[in-house]
Amino acid sequence: MNRRSLLRGTFGAATAAGWLGAPGSVRAQGAGRQFTIGFTSRSSTDWPLYCASKMGFYAANNLQVDEVVIGSSAGCAQQLTAGSIDIGSVSSVQVIEAVMGGAPIVEVLNEVITPPYSVLARKGITSVAGLHGKTTIVGGPNDITRVFMDKVITGSGLHTDDFTYTFAGASADRFAALISGAVDAAMLLPPFSFRAADLGFPIIADVQKFVPHFPFGGLAARIAWAKSHPDLIVAFDKSYVQGVRWLGDPTNRTRACQILADITNSKMEDATRTYDQYVTHLQLYSKTGRFAREDFAMVLDTLVKTKQVTPPVPTPESLFDNHFADAALAQIRR
């Protein structure tokens, strides 16, 4: 039996046993079911989860969540495999790398569906071509930001061999490297991209122009842990969807921006601009938490073409499981 079938069978058994049951059954499991989630950093990509925490959706779904910052997507995958965390922020690229390396993990929640990054450069550099022979900082040699930067470079008619890469997993660390003069360009998320632009560092590329759709961020779990805690993952996915819906309500804009500003230690002005870009313009966050097979097929094809992985590669279906999100959506509808 493959991993996908194993999860499906266990999930079906859990449902039959009444773990999901009638409306309100998640809350009836006992006070504060506890688990640990690992984030790559304190950034805007996990905004709906911060809202779920601050606005009481975790508590309403009988969850007590311990949050830790790991520093990179690869680190989250390693900590998941080791059993140090229960759920972790693992990008679509990194989960493929991890599974191909033997890691027993699977994506259980789709979070960010559009690349939100911008490339900012040292003052005086006005285009991607101006980075020829210079140093650009991305998340890691096999990080999703490396894939995006390669797309920006080749989409600008240049070659990846014309550039030097250096690495830091968190957007905050890449921001620090840029403003200190340690690198010539950095791939950043809001609000750090806004902060750098305000300091006079020019935006030379928006990733959305080169990669308009890409399954960017997801939450993964160990296969064994997911088998034994399906009701908990459903409650987590439900909290996320509730967080997305709350975040998307314009009447909550000010409170939501304050949550982001507090979490990321950024200005309220930057958080407000992040809201306008992420929530209003890009509609960045998945409203269902579900993955599409076609999305992972695209990621696999991209990694093979850029020679970051070598066939044979996993099937798209083996990398994610939508049953948890489907059950969460069903509970919300009820």
Q: Return per-residue pLDDT of the chain as tens, 334 residues.
A: 344 433 433 333 333 232 233 223 233 334 579 999 999 999 899 999 999 999 999 999 999 999 999 999 999 999 999 999 999 999 999 999 999 999 999 999 999 988 889 999 999 999 999 999 999 999 988 888 999 999 999 999 999 889 899 999 889 999 999 999 999 999 999 889 999 999 999 999 999 899 888 887 899 999 999 999 999 999 999 999 999 999 999 999 999 999 999 999 989 999 999 999 999 998 999 999 999 999 899 999 988 988 889 999 999 999 999 999 999 999 999 8
Classify 3-114+214-242+281-333 by CATH class: alpha beta
**CB 87 within 8 Å of CB 58:** no
CB 138 within 8 A of CB 211: no
- Residue 90: closest CA among 291, 263, 304: 291
* CATH of 118-210 among 3.40.50.1380, 3.40.30.160, 3.40.190.10, 1.10.10.10: 3.40.190.10
154-173 in b/e form (b: 16+ CB < 10 A) is: eeeeeeeeebebebbbbbbb
Q: What is the pTM of this model?
A: 0.82
Domain locations along the chain:
3-114+214-242+281-333, 118-210
Give the strand pairing for 185-188 and 118-121: antiparallel
Same fold, 3-114+214-242+281-333 and 118-210: yes
Burial class, 263, CB count within 10 angstroms (exposed 0-12 / middle 13-18 / buried 19+):
buried
